[in-house]
Structure 1
Amino acid sequence: MSRTTRATQFLQRAGIAFTVATYDYDPGAERVGLQAAEAMGEEPGRVLKTLMAEVDGRPVCVVVPSDREVSMKRLAAAFGGKAAQMMRPADAERLTGYHVGGISPFGQKKRVPTAIEATTLALPYVFMNGGQRGLQVRLAPDDARRALDAVAAALVA
């Protein structure tokens, strides 16, 4: 597995300190983020999942703890919209250039507005997908927010 991806290159160019962690990706896992947390021996709330959605028809990226679910109402409100829905996996892959299970908020083919769950900013560190299945980056959550120019909002139900 390559430890250099568009996501890690994006973080390096942004001057963000991070370390790389790998785990055995299980393609049959019901919830990829929870499987990653378990495989790495980390708390699920510290391993963040990257989801692609649409708010009023516009693509957005959403980063929340792997053990929580996104509130579509809160997501729409975070971007000043009326309605939100999850993006179809094929559309998410085409937009980001990553495969489902390996979608990172960093280094996507097309940069879209991003929101991160506000409560994660209080954590000393988090893990986020590094742009490949089985690859995570460990970094300070506020560094991630700044690098993504993300909105911090209450996004989980």
Structure 2
Amino acid sequence: MSIETVRNYLRERGLADRIIEFSQSSATVELATAANHCEPARIAKTLSFAVGDECILIVAAGDAKIDNAKYKVRFGTKAKMLAHDEVPVRVGHAVGGVCPFAIKEGVHVYLDQSLRRFETVFPAAGNAASAVRLTPDELERASEAEGWVDVCKGWQI
């Protein structure tokens, strides 16, 4: 999949005009921070995990880290990130552009509470040089998330 697939997906939801394309990479939180001219915490990073035979995405603030104990309580298993080469096959986007939009069928999306403290956040938009500016509520609707979870640490003040 690509930024065009994401653009079409977001167009159907009235949000395609929020996509930002960059001339430089935004593939990491650090690079996305520079490209978006924002604080690292406002980058909505999308993390890919295997839960049994299923794939889940957790979208979290750029300054948050997965809390293994919280994750295990919520999902009933140890946090196991997908291998780099598994991500495009199972999710539909390559590492660096993974986002919760226009993903493969059967992938479950969850949003971490760490994002709720911001007016707007910046998830990727399908490639390693893009983002989309959304409120947390818009992100929830556009991603068709299954809900908000509390599985991260390191971001609370």
Tell me the TM-score range normalised by the shorter chain. 0.7 to 0.9
Alpha-carbon distance, 1:26 to partner: 6.6
User: Per-residue displacement from partner, 1:73-92 (whole Å, max 9, x unpaired)?
Assistant: 3234334x232211111111
CA contact (8 A) 1:18 1:139 kept: no
Indicate the larger mover: 126-135 or 18-27: 18-27
TM-score computed with the length of structure 1 as normaliser: 0.83
Q: 1:147 aligns with which of 129, 142, 157?
A: 142
Show the counterpart of 1:121.
116
- More deviation in 37-46 or 68-77? 68-77
User: What SS does the corresponding residue of 2:111 show, helix, strand or coil?
Assistant: strand
List alignment gaps of at least 5 residues for structure 2. none
Say yes or no: does 1:82 pair with 2:81: no
In the TM superposition, what is the alpha-carbon distance from 1:46 to its structure 2 partner?
0.8
Q: Deviations over 1:56-98 (max 9, x none)?
A: 442100111122211233234334x232211111111111222
C-alpha separation in 1, matches of 2:34 and 2:109 = 26
| Percent identical residues | 25
Instruction: Figure out how many residues of one structure are paired with residues of the other and give that number.
Output: 150
Structure 1 residue ranges (4+ consecutive) displaced by more than 4 angstroms after TM superposition = none
Q: Give the root-mean-square deviation of aligned CA atoms.
A: 2.2
Other-structure match for 1:15: 14
Distance apart, 1:123 and its partner CA: 1.6
Q: What secondary structure sits across from 1:89 in the alignment?
A: coil
> 1:34 & 1:94 partners in 2: Cα distance?
25
